[in-house]
Chain A
Amino acid sequence: MISFSEIETTVKRATRSVGFSWGISEEVGKNIRLLEMFGLPGVKNINKYFKIYNGEKFENINLFSKSNISKKHYCPIIAGVNFFDQSSAISDLNYLEISNLAFPLLFIPFVSRTSEILGKRIFLKIDNKEFLFNFNQSIYSNYLSGEIVEKSEKINLQFIENKNSFSESEWSELYKISENTFVEETEESKQKAAGAGLTDND
């Protein structure tokens, strides 16, 4: 079995060798390691992408806007780096679209890391594949095939405001159950168990 450390080092070198800078190569090495740790096919996708990378022309998204549309496919690495670098400005948009992103799975780790940096969940839809990024701790998805995804027609990305996944009454019910671990207070325990003084007027 190939270790995650070997994956990171080899991907970093491969990324450099196809023409990206060392700094970006470091990012991609970490990203593919992350994808593989989350059980997503990072090595397969990057391998296929690099095979065609220098033969095809890809567009760069340099500055993100609400709608990022190109006739040619966007490079997922440059798009990802710039997404990460501009994340706080982008999060103000709340929602954005990207059309024609090549190898969209390679974009995913940048989004996952951004979710952690911003402290916000991010929902991403790649055509019919859905991903929920939870602060770079986990990725919830309906994409389980593990296959290479060469192209996406449309990507929708939404920053999710921090809010609870439960209602106030559900929380109250749970809190009430937790109260069963508390000891009923008596006059004596009020006097002796708190530790603080009985008067603050001294």
Chain B
Amino acid sequence: MNVQLRDPKNLMKLSKLGSFHQSKLSFLRSFLNEFKDWEYKRDLFELNDKGHGRAVYSFSKKNKIYSLVCFANEISDEERSDRVIATKWDAAFALYDGVPSKEDLERLALNVPKQEIGRLSYKELTLSRANKSVRIFNHVVDNLSKGIQPDTELLSKVGYLYRTTAVYGSGKFGLADRFRIKNREEIYGPFRLEMMLVYLVRQFTFDQVNHMAKRKNPNIAIELDLNICRNLGIGNSTGLGMAPFIVNHPILLNNWILAREIALKKIREIEKTSKEKLNIFKNCLVKSLKNVANWNTDSDFQNNKIKQLNEDLEKFIKFLNEEFSFENTFAFNKIYVWAEENVGDECIEYIVSMMMEPYDEIVNPLINKMSSEEDDHFNIPVNRTIEELRNILEKNYSDILKIDFKKKENNQNFWFISKNKEEPRMGNRYEIDGSNLEQPLAIARDIKKLYETIFTQKNSLKIGRFLTNNNHLRHVVRRAFITEKFPYAEIQDNTIGSKLMPIDMLRLKLSFFGAIKFDPRSDKWLRICMFQGAPLPSDLKSFDNHWIYNSLN
């Protein structure tokens, strides 16, 4: 049986991409698998009674060492902000390539807490900062100092002690350029060093509360229960800054989606499902329901999606128990086809993620293919013809070509970079100034413009010659040829229309990171949780690969 890959024209719609869930392909899960046999160490821990000071944690294997350098600082409540415009944070972090010297630590102490206005060097790989979830943090320290464990119900409502507000890598603010490290086998998967940073920060948060409780009441204080630690992750607040990334890295986007689609195709093509695989699928599905039940948000948009997901999952489980037999041949294909016909996108994509759980042998080889070399496909094939370009546009952008950009609602927004923080923003072009400085993220509109422009050109005209008089369309000519080779490279939607939900773009990216509990705070930013339920560094030598469903919360 040959199952076709899902059609990019349906799959790459934002409402669909905004329904993706974490899976075995997620970067935080593949990071843990890659680093499980590395040596973890806390190399330095110098905090005062208030928990301020510095700490260093490391992962090492043979002669390779990565060190997380942490700086915990005093800030007032008024200074604490999750927004990217903040200038002070409870803690700041950098992942150092090797073992930092004393001089390095001093240099980093001067720069890391400043974040965007500090300067890093090629020796540093990633940079981040985080704020306490104050209510939870204080509650934990208070309770531990009194010799009692914190209220797990309260903890479950939040799920973390700290939340990061940005994690930077790839040459930002002087950090190491990707070319310096890209050939290291242990970081072949995307965002692996960012995941390492977040994972080690999580351990720092536990060590910090234990330390503060002990200093507060040395005789009575106890340490945070390890099971409670395991069920705490690291929060993250994410705004629009993340959205343009998936437009600006079309080949990377393709490779992420393609890995997921190949996994799905191969699983649907399995003729006979073993009992063992079936049990893994069912167990993960049942256990995962707790995560859905504890998915708290004030967002009506998300609550409606969760409600629909819950109803659909109920329907799905009823179907599995009452109508379905795994004795069927091509059982997972039948499940998928049933899902397409009976449940919504949130549930379909949830089931797709679950279907991957039993199949390490299918999923694991795909993980190393999820990076990309965007530069290898940068050059426009200038000897191709207008006819070929037209064919590509008609084949790969047919829905986009139907959009009428003369209508105000289809042309409403524009993306720009804010001057004060150099961060991407989106605004209504009819209400605010600055659309003359629009970023090249209105791909659908510009593709349509390209199509209209080549309409009157000779079929045999070479692209290079066409560009001589049409360089204003050069950026989309490049993209069109990329989609010819990479079918999932392009979002098949209008990124400037009035109905755009930017959080769909964020959710897509964060689902590949492995985030859970998406909590939209508006249509433009959301909070998530990472590594909740994950093994602690001391558990890494032997842990359950399905840990993400083991959370007690």
Contact = CB atoms under 8 A, between A and B. Distances in A.
B178 A23 contact: no
B477 interface: yes
A13 B437 CA distance: 10
B379 A22 contact: no
A85 B122 contact: no
Nearest to B464: A85
B337 interface: no
Contacts of B440: 22
B172 interface: yes
A88 B383 contact: yes
A89 B375 CA distance: 24
A68 interface: no
A3 B173 CA distance: 8
A3 B177 contact: yes
Interface residues of B, number: 34
B475 A21 contact: yes
A89 B465 CA distance: 10
B378 interface: yes
B75 interface: no
Interface string A45-60: 0000000000000000
A191 interface: no
B468 interface: yes
A84 interface: yes
A3 B175 contact: yes
B170 A81 contact: no
Interface string A70-100: 0000000000011011111100000000000
A6 B464 contact: no
A63 B468 contact: yes
Interface string B164-196: 000000111111111100000000000000000
B334 interface: no
A86 B462 CA distance: 9
A67 interface: no
A3 B171 contact: yes
B418 to A, nearest CB: 13
B227 interface: no
Contacts of A81: 467, 471
Contacts of A1: 119, 121-122, 174
A6 B170 CA distance: 9
B474 A24 contact: yes
B472 interface: yes
A85 B465 contact: yes
A165 B380 CA distance: 31
B472 A21 contact: yes
A113 interface: yes
Contacts of B475: 21-23, 26
A121 interface: no
A119 B474 CA distance: 24
A87 B382 contact: yes
Contacts of A113: 379
A169 B176 CA distance: 47
Interface string A10-23: 00010000001111
Contacts of A5: 170-172, 177-178
A85 B382 contact: yes
A23 B478 contact: yes
A196 to B, nearest CB: 34
A13 B440 CA distance: 11
B127 to A, nearest CB: 12
A81 B379 CA distance: 11
B60 to A, nearest CB: 25
Nearest to A116: B379
Given A84-B382, A117-B379, A23 B468 contact: no
B317 interface: no
Contacts of A87: 382, 464
A82 B172 CA distance: 32
A86 B464 contact: yes
Contacts of A88: 382-383, 464
Given A30-B378, A117-B379, A82 B174 contact: no
Interface in B120-173: 121-122, 170-173
B473 interface: yes
A43 to B, nearest CB: 15
Nearest to A62: B468
A4 interface: yes
A113 B119 CA distance: 32
B473 A23 contact: yes
A6 B179 contact: no
A11 to B, nearest CB: 13
Contacts of A86: 382, 464-465, 468
Interface of B: 119, 121-122, 170-179, 375, 378-380, 382-383, 417, 440, 463-465, 467-468, 471-478
Interface of A: 1-6, 13, 20-24, 26-27, 30, 62-63, 81-82, 84-89, 113, 117
Given A1-B122, A81-B471, 11 more contacts: A1-B119, A3-B175, A5-B178, A22-B440, A22-B475, A23-B478, A24-B474, A26-B378, A86-B468, A88-B382, A88-B383
